[in-house]
């Protein structure tokens, strides 16, 4: 069986992992240079920081077992300090009772996909954007923007965020009602945008929280976290704040000049912390996530009707929850269905 997975995020990595003993020839196509998608890590000036997903939660038993038992646990770290809250007026209060565990890796959250792929024989082709998918003689043919054929496969799984998957479905050469129905269902999934501001300071921050979350959803800042509380991420004596700006605020600015948006974000962070020192980070980084978080997930089962033809969908938007553990769980489930379908044909 030949399987193509489009996207090397958490869902794509979990599918490859679920197929590792299935006698399947798996190729993963990823448009960017790295793996793990929106669970993303960068390095700069001796720091490492998770600037997309902050951590993986222990909300799913299968995922917890994966992280704490199946994959190499070397460098797996927990953030133990609490999450506090603030309201639209910027009033900070001690937190949200929660005993959830929050994991990342010393080398960053991208280790998750790296370790999943390392446990498989899958071929991961980075910097390869799949532009077209065509049904030809009962198989799936994939090509890039230059029309170079990337291969022909029995099964293909699309894991990009729903709007990008909908584009692939719209352009797909497959004259079938199931494609149209799947396209309409996938295209209907809405997304929130998030602007991420990363702010470094050459001094420590004396507070007892790991992160602050806006409980009203009306403040310009949605979430503010201290990356230095993740072991191995920030050298001693320094602070690195990761501000995920609010959905409305970010959505209104997603096409604006990124440096200008960053300057505004820095001002809001300094105001929230009520300390002018935070208005002057010594270095910064930023990312505008147009398709950051699906608002719920795909509804109905039109996206499942294509599975008979070997076309599958996976990701947080299929799971219906914008979380890494949900994308992983969905990837495992899709991988298992691919194996079952193959076995049903074989026997």
Residue 29 in the binding site for ligand FAD (CB under 6 A): yes
Q: Does 302 sit near ligand FAD (CB under 6 A)?
A: no
Ordered DSSP codes for 62-95: HHHHIIIIIS--TTEEE--SPEEEE-TT--EES-
Considering only 197-205, 210-218, 265-273, 288-296, which stretch makes contact with ligand FAD by CB under 6 A? Answer: 288-296
Residue 289 sits in the site that holds ligand FAD (CB under 6 A):
yes
159 binding ligand FAD? (CB under 6 A): yes
For residue 66 the two structure tokens come to 């994966």
Q: Please say which residue, 243 or 280, places its beta carbon nearer to ligand FAD.
A: 243
Asked whether position 141 contacts ligand FAD by CB under 6 A, the answer is: no
Per-position x/- string for 36-65, each x denoting binding to ligand FAD as judged by CB under 6 A, each - no binding = -xxx------------xxxxxx--------
Among the listed ranges 6-14, 62-70, 90-98, 277-285, the one in contact with ligand FAD (CB under 6 A) is: 6-14
For β-strands 155-158 and 311-313, DSSP reports them as parallel
Nearby residues of 307 by Cβ (< 8 Å), 6 or more positions away: 337, 341
Q: CB of 292: closest distance to ligand FAD in angstroms? A: 4
Cα–Cα dist 175/317, whole Å? 25
Handedness of CA 145, 2, 166, 37 (dihedral sign): negative
Find tokens 């470094």 and name the residue.
200
What is the largest distance, in Å, between two alpha-carbon atoms of the chain? 69
Does position 324 bind ligand FAD by CB under 6 A? yes
Binding site for ligand FAD (CB under 6 A): 6-12, 29-32, 37-39, 52-57, 129-130, 159-161, 164, 194, 196, 244, 289, 292-293, 315-316, 322-325, 327
């Amino acid at each position: 069986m030949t399987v193509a997975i489009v996207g090397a995020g958490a869902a794509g990595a979990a599918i490859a992992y679920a197929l590792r003993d299935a006698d399947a020839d798996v190729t993963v196509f990823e448009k960017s240079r790295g793996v793990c998608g929106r669970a993303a890590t960068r390095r700069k000036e001796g720091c490492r920081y998770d600037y997309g997903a902050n951590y993986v939660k222990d909300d799913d038993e299968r995922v917890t077992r994966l992280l704490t038992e199946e994959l190499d646990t070397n460098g797996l770290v927990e953030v133990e300090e609490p999450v506090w809250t603030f309201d639209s007026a910027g009033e900070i209060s001690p937190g949200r009772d929660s005993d959830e565990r929050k994991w990342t890796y010393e080398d960053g959250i991208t280790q998750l996909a790296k370790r999943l792929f390392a446990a498989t024989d899958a071929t991961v082709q980075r910097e390869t954007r799949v532009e077209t998918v065509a049904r030809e003689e009962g198989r799936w043919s994939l090509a890039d923007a230059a029309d170079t054929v990337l291969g022909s496969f029995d099964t293909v799984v699309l894991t990009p965020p729903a709007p990008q998957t909908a584009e692939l479905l719209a352009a797909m050469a497959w004259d079938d009602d199931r494609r149209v129905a799947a396209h309409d269902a996938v295209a209907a999934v809405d997304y929130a945008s998030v602007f991420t501001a990363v702010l470094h300071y050459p001094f420590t921050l004396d507070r007892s929280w790991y992160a602050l979350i806006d409980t009203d959803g009306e403040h310009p800042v949605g979430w503010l976290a201290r990356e230095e509380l993740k072991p191995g991420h920030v050298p001693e004596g320094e602070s690195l704040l990761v501000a995920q700006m609010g959905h409305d605020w970010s959505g209104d600015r997603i096409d604006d000049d990124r440096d200008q948006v960053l300057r505004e974000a820095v001002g809001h962070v300094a105001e929230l912390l009520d300390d002018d020192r935070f208005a002057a980070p010594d270095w910064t980084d930023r990312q505008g996530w147009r398709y950051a978080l699906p608002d719920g997930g795909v509804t109905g089962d039109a996206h499942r009707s294509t599975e008979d033809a070997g076309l599958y969908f996976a990701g947080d938007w299929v799971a219906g929850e914008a979380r890494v553990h949900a994308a992983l769980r969905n990837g495992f489930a899709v991988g298992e269905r691919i194996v079952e379908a193959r076995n049903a044909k074989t026997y």
